[in-house]
Structure 1
Amino acid sequence: MPRHIALVPAAGSGSRFGAQMPKQYLPLAGRPLIHHALATLCAHPRIDRVVVVLAPEDLYWSGHDWSALGSRLMPVHCGGASRAASVRNGLWEIAGWARPDDWVLVHDAARPCLSAGMLDALIDALDNDDTGGLLAQRVADTLKRADAADRVEATVPRDGMWQAQTPQMFRLALLADALDRCPDVTDEASAIEALGLKPRLVAADAANLKVTWPEDMQLAELILRTRENRT
């Protein structure tokens, strides 16, 4: 049976965030931000390995204790200059032991609120899919396209619009080929689409937010604390 391998690109500097260290290492609910997603992935019974793609010069990873996450966790120092480059380098790194038909679930290091239920929904929906797909959320708000002066240029119809999330789940060989052909994409699904394929959208919710700006940290902590109090 094909395995499920999580791949978490974590080589970014988080420059937009404006912090003194890479965003993925900022403290969130008592842990480094990246720890929360890794804990969910490492604890999930259907995930066989969790590969974290770090920058070659990363000096922060070794300063934390990751032992509680268990033996599935595998850090590799082969990150690239972009997300796509880090993912592609990570695929090269695992190609020596992973099979071409293994599923690779690429997840943002800055999405700390991933849940086991979201992973189950994604894997259940895609395990027999010919292409693969991604977690995503239907767009509910009215969309505006701005001009160069940040004035409304047009209202964009929201019918059929979804906001992409992660994990994005594709077969290793297919994803590697897509990223070789389209190295400048901002997410894996875009590379798959460029091959003429149609990834499946699997409904998620707003809790799977990406921490992009400082104010997102408070919301992420609220979600994590609320989830913890329910258990």
Structure 2
Amino acid sequence: MAEQHKVWAIIPAAGIGGRMSADIPKQYLKIYGRPMLHHTLSRICASPVIDGVIIGISPQDSRWSKDLFTHPKILGVCDGGRERRDTVLNGLKFLDGLDEVAQSDWALVHDAVRPGIMQQDIQNLLTQANDNQIGAVLGKRLADTLKITDENQAIQQTVDRKNFWRAFTPQVFRLGDLLRAIEVSVADGVQITDESMAMEQLGFHPAMVEGHSSNNKITTRDDLDLADLLLAKF
């Protein structure tokens, strides 16, 4: 039987949500009666496979103290950085400094603005990561026809969508591997868009795991309205 390692979650919540055009960062906008961030943290903390949670909060954030979320699994808050990657890196360093955390443990990163994560998806993700011992990314296969256009938006080609996925979070990797991968991306000046990309730069090939469509990222007002309906259902 494979050795069991602990799972530590990092929730980057330092964004300002510019595309939402709201008066407050979008993670504090209310969905189904509570701040979006609270829904996300509730679901992550409720997972029996997760041992502890770190939240990345901007030093300029004046809302966190007003909308504080408490739970026995919350280990603390790390400083949010200028980029999401910086916040995740700070979270990894925070965890790496704790006595109960090993570099061979799993680090699970999940967006604060994906409040619809399903418990079964978290379990499936960890099962796959334990199977391949590298890591895994939650996502969804592309269902729409995929087109390539030129600079004038004229269609040039229709692409076979068979092997294309939308990458979601959570994404889970060995804490030590992800820490090294992000540090290398910073040192090399590589702009990564998610944790998997950092790992891919070092030659790792994480697994994609099909997730539930309720786990959409909340970016616009339309997304917010849809999330309100989905959370009421799920």
The TM-score, its normalising length taken from structure 2, stands at 0.92
* 1:33-66 deviations in Å (ceiling 9; x for gaps): 1111110111111111011111111111110242
Aligned to 1:83: 84
Is this contact kept in 1: 2:52–2:73, CA < 8 A? yes
1:167-226 per-position Cα deviation (integer Å, ceiling 9, x unaligned): 000000000111111232010001111111111011112111111111001111111101
C-alpha distance in structure 2 between counterparts of 1:17 and 1:151, whole Å: 29
CA–CA distance in 2 between the matches of 1:223 and 1:169? 25
Tell me how far 1:147 sits from its aligned partner. 3.3
Please name the residue that 1:15 is paired with.
Answer: 18
Instruction: Please say if residues 134 and 201 of structure 1, whose CA atoms lie closer than 8 Å, have aligned partners that are also in contact.
Output: yes
Unmatched segments (≥5 aa) in structure 2: none
C-alpha contact 1:58 1:77 (8 A) present in aligned 2: no
- In the alignment, structure 1 segments of 5+ residues that lack a partner are none
One-letter identity of the residue aligned with 1:102? D
Q: Which SS does the other structure have where 2:214 is aligned?
A: coil
Aligned equivalents of 1:147 and 1:20: distance in 2? 37
Matched, 1:53 2:60: no
TM-score in terms of structure 1 length: 0.93
- Separation in 2, partners of 1:211, 1:197: 29
User: Letter of the aligned partner of 1:159 in structure 2?
Assistant: K
The residue aligned with 1:187 is 194
Which amino acid in the other structure matches residue 33 of structure 2? G
1:146-165 map, 5 Å? 146-165=149-168
Equivalents in 1 of 2:149, 2:74: separation in Å? 42
Counterpart of 1:100, as a letter, is: Q
Runs of 4+ in 1 over 4 A off after TM superposition: none
1:212/1:146 CA distance change after superposition, 3 Å:
farther
Rounded Cα–Cα distance in structure 2 between residues aligned with 1:106 and 1:47? 11
Residues 54 and 78 of structure 2 are in contact (CA less than 8 Å); yes or no, is this contact kept in structure 1?
no
Check whether the contact 2:78–2:94 (CA below 8 A) recurs between aligned residues. no
Write the mapping of 1:216-227 to structure 2, written as runs, cut at 5 A: 216-227=223-234
Matches of 2:78 and 2:176 in 1, distance apart?
A: 21
Instruction: Tell whether the 8 Å contact from 1:56 to 1:77 is kept in structure 2 after alignment.
Output: no
Identity of aligned residues (%): 39
User: How many residue pairs were aligned?
Assistant: 225
Superposed CA deviations along residues 152-176 of structure 1, whole A, max 9, x for unmatched, are 3432221211110110000000001
